[in-house]
Amino acid sequence: MKNHSQFNAPFNGRHLRPWQRLSTLLLLALALGGCASIDGPPDPRDPWEAYNRSVFEFNDAVDRAVIKPVAKGYRKVVPQPVRSGVANVFSNLDDVLVVGNDLLQFKFERAIADFSRLIYNTILGVFGIFDVASELGLPKHNEDFGQTLAVWGWEESAYLIVPLLPPSTVRDTGGLLVDWQFDPVTNIDRESERYSAIILETIDRRAQLLSASRVLDEAALDRYAFVRDAYFQLRRNQIYDGNPPQEEMLPPADDNADADLELELELERELEGSGAPKAK
């Protein structure tokens, strides 16, 4: 779930203080649990697996108890045309960051296309409520500062799960903090409007991911490892703009692993189709 809202104000920490306080308490509470041993060989991409698993369980519990039920209610009560308009508005605001990261990655032709998309949807689409740009042949792209850092050379990064945020890596978490500083949503001046927009976007994005969570619930093996592998797969696909270099694929060890591989690919398609997060 990527938060949107900080555009002209310099970063002074005032938007992050509630997260920082909660994260500090959770880190202290989870420190002992982070020492637990993990069965099987360690994944070199996940050096803090015990800690990450603890936070994953906490985030999953919060999602099941609060966020997912609210998202289901939102999807049930709010008509589809209204939900589409809300999603389009946040997608249009996200294009501000997309254009900036296009330029930072020296993708100048794409930057022109994405800037044109932003202008068309803002003017002809009534501030982004209608996605007229896609109808004109200007598709939505996914770029964030985590991808920019990867293009600049930080290709490998350790897996990291932060309390109340989606799965990420050290690189992508740092990229998320940078994106927050320039996000139109997190830069809304009035605090009440800013937090209302952040909450609405969070609910809307979670509602879009209900199908993806269904796929996750069907995973045959370890849900934590399933999400981690799907995340790395998705980010690799995003970094290479949908054309990652070929990797040597080992055959699945058993039928369950084969089923999880198919579900992982389906989850990746669901996440990509929903415009999800970016490890923001």
| pLDDT tens-digit map of 195-219 | 999 999 999 999 998 887 777 777 6
Domain ranges of the chain: 45-274
Stated length of the chain? 280
Which residue intervals of the chain are DSSP H helices?
Answer: 17-31, 49-62, 68-77, 80-104, 108-123, 132-135, 145-151, 170-182, 191-208, 210-217, 223-239, 255-274
d(CA 117, CA 131): 9
CA atoms within 13 A on the CB side of 187: 17
pLDDT at residue 100, rounded to an integer: 97
| pLDDT tens-digit map of 237-280 | 999 998 888 765 444 444 455 555 555 555 555 555 555 444 33
Structure tokens at 188: 């809304």
| pLDDT tens-digit map of 104-132 | 999 999 999 999 999 999 999 999 999 99
Would you call 241 helix, strand, or coil by DSSP? coil
pLDDT at residue 272, rounded to an integer: 56
pLDDT at residue 267, rounded to an integer: 57
pLDDT at residue 142, rounded to an integer: 93
- The amino acid at residue 72 is K
211 to 214, 218, 229, 262: CA distances (angstroms): 5, 11, 18, 15
91 and 1 Cβ atoms separated by less than 8 Å: no
Does residue 18 register a pLDDT over 60?
A: no
